Chains A and B, each alone.
Chain A
């Protein structure tokens, strides 16, 4: 077999791995939904591309519309970078099955890195760029300019892909490396947003304009960065193949905290301990918490220091977001982590009911955090205390019960220690997320419009208190429905375990 044939074979296996992912393999409907969502987002990007192109058709103060668009280059690259965490594996992770086969590791690494660069995924943003470029560049400026501009974008996306692979590989070594891209992107965003004039606007515009005019220098510049990143990835990931193949977790934990104070709550206390330990000892679960907390602090800080979120809708959103996000991060995938040991749980009497109850109490306890983070906003009068009271109870008594309904339907096991994010949210989970994030605001606005300021929030609080008081009833209802679907769910959990 020559090298090209071997390259094709490895690529074919990688394609099959994606195609036969247990998530889709066990569920044709899920496969259909994923394709549908892929097309749906593509349609949205096309729509945005057309709308932006038409909106920027006329030049502003002598600046062409596409220059304005190109000024936002960095935003798009940052979005692209973080979206990649959801889907893309590192070559070191992919190389594992070939470790004992007669394939040179260096060749394998080159195959995966080349494949990453040439991946169709790098072209997904073209759904936005092509319609925009066709209207805003190809027609008024010319086709050659359009292709130069598009090629420039492609190179930037490939560069971004390699930068992502490098960071992702570092994150495999230690989760805290995620702070590196976060700090860089945070710094860039601060540089762009805080001063009156964005200092990066002009360089981005010039770069893209040079691509458009097929000037050699920007192509060489980006090409060199790609080559450097390729080399850095090669070096880093080659070293990591060994780590990945012989992956062994830390042998001992430093502190085996016992939480003995929970013993007084009997079996429920045991499940509470389990919930706490699950969050403390598993990377994915722990990371969800810190990501949520980070966003809470970030949004609240922006709201505190800038007038950016002073609108009525955004204030409500920030308040709601703070209350719901920590619960939502884990409850949206409720039972998915338990899928790893579902057989053990199911062989104990009513253990699922006790587990759900413990989860509810734990998440209600987490609601102590948002008022602390939002306190500065309440003190300076940017957010009312009543709004906080309303959302506190509404979250605990209305939104949590809604999220707990997913315990009946979630049937895919999520790995608890996948590095960073391997969360494969399904469409039901995504829809529930959207409902949870936006419906309450509509309800709040309607209630406050009808009843006036404090009374609207009091209504939210009363609804929440009813949900809290009746928690035993609705938790048992969720449990009963879970048990009615248990065979289907257990089959799903088993089929997707270790995926």
Chain B
């Protein structure tokens, strides 16, 4: 599924949060979004997910839904929600459910059978590290890292063609960060899903994203081909990491 952003602008008062003339994320692409705080990464994700209203411009999802060709403006229909999984923050989690209940809830909404759910969860066994499955803890009592894991897994449980994760490495311990890198990469390779990931962790972003977009004050200032990991130097220079 292609995501086509056109003339998209969002301001909060005087501050320009997003101002993008044109950005196309191609089907099957894994795109990393980087930038300083306030660069507009989360706002762009929220605009793509139709969670906030754009001042101007559109976000289209174009591609194949089964046999049918689709070209959808996300602000005009809810159809895209069937193939889009996302986790931006805790506002996505129903925190008075246990992780198991939450996964079951999502599974039933997506007509996923119990067997399919168990199969899905088994792939994440290492990632969950005995902290989530079978626990009688409500999500609101989990640590920030475990909440993050629940959110990411719930987004992937939808088997989405478009997966959007805002700061997925936040709060996670190093081994979980590593695990999620591999899981995302594998998911992208196996399903051909379009994946958008924002992160302040340059190393992880460079490791998994063949294309990286650098945002500043809501504008795309670099669209970097990272197939050969060449984004590392550009990003280090931009963020003045070696100074």
Contact = CB atoms under 8 A, between A and B. Distances in A.
Interface of A: 248-254, 256, 258, 263, 266-267, 269-270, 273-274, 277-278, 281-282, 340-344, 346-351, 416-417, 487, 490-491, 494, 497
Nearest to B91: A343
B172 interface: no
Contacts of B53: 487
B91 A344 contact: yes
Interface in B158-179: none
A490 B88 CA distance: 14
Contacts of A258: 101
B98 interface: yes
Nearest to A346: B51
Contact of A348 (B50, B81, B98): B81
A490 B89 CA distance: 14
Contact residues of B: prevailing secondary structure = loop
Interface residues of B, number: 32
Centre residue among A266, A278, A344, A349 by max chain B CB count within 10 A = A344
Contact of B91 (A250, A256, A340): A340
A494 B91 contact: yes
Given A270-B108, A343-B51, A343-B88, A252 B136 contact: yes
A347 B49 contact: yes
B84 A281 contact: no
A249 B93 contact: no
B141 A251 contact: yes
Contact of B51 (A250, A253, A270, A490): A490
B189 interface: no
A348 B91 contact: no
B79 A349 contact: yes
A491 B52 CA distance: 7
Given A347-B86, A347-B92, A349-B82, A253 B138 contact: yes
Nearest to B54: A487
A349 to B, nearest CB: 4
Given A251-B141, A252-B135, A490-B51, A341 B101 contact: no
A341 B93 contact: yes
B94 interface: yes
Contact of A253 (B79, B86, B88, B137): B137
Centre residue among B81, B91, B93 by max chain A CB count within 10 A = B91
A350 B81 CA distance: 9
Contacts of B84: 347
Contacts of A347: 49, 51, 81, 84, 86, 92
Contact of A341 (B91, B100, B137): B91
Contacts of A270: 105, 108-109
B238 interface: no
Given A341-B91, A347-B92, 4 more contacts: A270-B109, A344-B94, A347-B81, A416-B96
Interface in B88-115: 88-89, 91-98, 100-101, 105, 108-109
Nearest to A250: B141
22 contacts: A252-B135, A252-B136, A253-B138, A254-B136, A256-B101, A270-B105, A273-B105, A277-B96, A281-B96, A282-B96, A340-B91, A343-B51, A343-B92, A344-B92, A344-B93, A344-B94, A346-B51, A347-B92, A349-B78, A417-B140, A490-B51, A491-B52
Nearest to B85: A347
Contacts of B78: 349-350
Contact of B108 (A266, A342, A346, A494): A266
B141 A274 contact: no
A267 B91 contact: no
A256 B51 CA distance: 32
Contacts of B137: 251-253
Nearest to B107: A270
Nearest to A258: B101
A251 B143 CA distance: 11
Contacts of A340: 91, 95
Nearest to A280: B96
B82 A249 contact: no
A285 to B, nearest CB: 9
A253 B91 contact: no
Given A347-B86, A349-B81, A341 B92 contact: yes
Interface string B66-90: 0000000000001101101010110
A488 B95 CA distance: 23
A490 B79 contact: no
Contacts of B97: 274, 277
Contacts of A349: 78-79, 81-82
Nearest to A339: B91
A274 B97 CA distance: 8
Given A251-B141, A252-B137, A274 B105 contact: yes
Contacts of B138: 249, 253, 281
Contacts of A350: 78
Closest 7 CB pairs of A and B: A487-B53, A344-B92, A343-B91, A349-B81, A281-B96, A252-B136, A349-B78
Contacts of B92: 341, 343-344, 347
A342 B91 contact: yes
Interface string B26-60: 00000000000000000000000111110000000
Interface in B203-235: none
A497 B136 contact: no
Interface in B186-213: none
Nearest to A269: B108
A281 B136 CA distance: 13
